[in-house]
Amino acid sequence: MIKEASDWVKFCVNTINKAPDNKIALDLACGSGRHSIFLSNKGYKVISVDLNFFYLTSFYKYNIFKIRSDIENLNAWPFKDEVFDLIVVTNFLNRLIFKSIKESMKRNGYLIYETFGEGHERFGRPKNKDYLLQKDELLNLTKNMSLIYYEEIKVINFKKKFIKHRILCKNV
């Protein structure tokens, strides 16, 4: 069963684009496709990328273009410049690809990014600090973009425990 899109992604998509017209979205490190499916249902033409073939086949019923690629390999970045109106990245961090992400976005395209921050290792994976954002790091990685929303949140309750950094910004 495919999980529902994150509240952050839903909030950002509803904020920036009520009715896209031939807009192209990239779901980077898409996993089981929850955001790909959400974006497709919102009217986007979606390209989903993940290294895991099993994940990509798990949402085969949807009219979504899927690419199996090791996006961490900078020499194998599969996209040209200025292709996407929207790029969504959740629960994935590779600091080295931010330049490629920005170059793949159209002018006035949007980036929705949500991943774990330092301190999260106390609650679950990832535990390796190389995969956890430091305070204000996401702001720094996107400093050449126009900031719309940003938050660093800590949720600790009986159901959920996490620390996340979230950003919505625009390529100018």
The yes-or-no verdict on residue 153 having pLDDT over 80 is yes
Q: What's the average model confidence in pLDDT over 126-149?
A: 94
Q: Which residue has the higher pLDDT, 147 or 1?
A: 147
96 inside domain: yes
The yes-or-no verdict on residue 18 having pLDDT over 70 is no
Q: Is 22 left (phi over 0), alpha (psi -120 to 50) or beta?
A: left
Stated length of the chain: 172
2 inside domain: no
Please check whether residue 2 is in contact with residue 25, taking contact to mean a CB–CB distance below 8 angstroms. Answer: no
The pLDDT, as a whole number, for residue 9 is: 97
148 inside domain: yes
90 inside domain: yes
**pTM score > 0.75 for this model?**
yes
Q: Round the CA-based radius of gyration of the chain to a whole number and report it.
A: 15
The yes-or-no verdict on residue 3 having pLDDT over 90 is no
47 inside domain: yes
Beta strands in the chain (DSSP E): 24-28, 45-50, 65-68, 84-90, 105-116, 146-156, 161-170
The pLDDT, as a whole number, for residue 60 is: 86
What pLDDT, in 10s, does the model give residues 73-115? 878 788 989 999 999 999 999 999 999 999 999 999 999 999 9
The pLDDT, as a whole number, for residue 160 is: 78
Q: What's the average model confidence in pLDDT over 33-56?
A: 94
38 inside domain: yes
The pLDDT, as a whole number, for residue 1 is: 62
Specify the residue for token string 């430091």.
Answer: 134
Q: The CATH number of the domain where 20 resides is what?
A: 3.40.50.150
3-state secondary structure of 166: strand
What is the percent of the chain where pLDDT is above 70?
97
- Number of structural domains in the chain: 1
Distance CA 56, CA 137 (A): 30
Q: What's the average model confidence in pLDDT over 107-135?
A: 92
What pLDDT, in 10s, does the model give residues 155-164? 888 777 889 9
Q: Whole domain around residue 157: which residue ranges?
A: 7-170
Q: Which residues pair with 92 in a beta bridge?
A: none
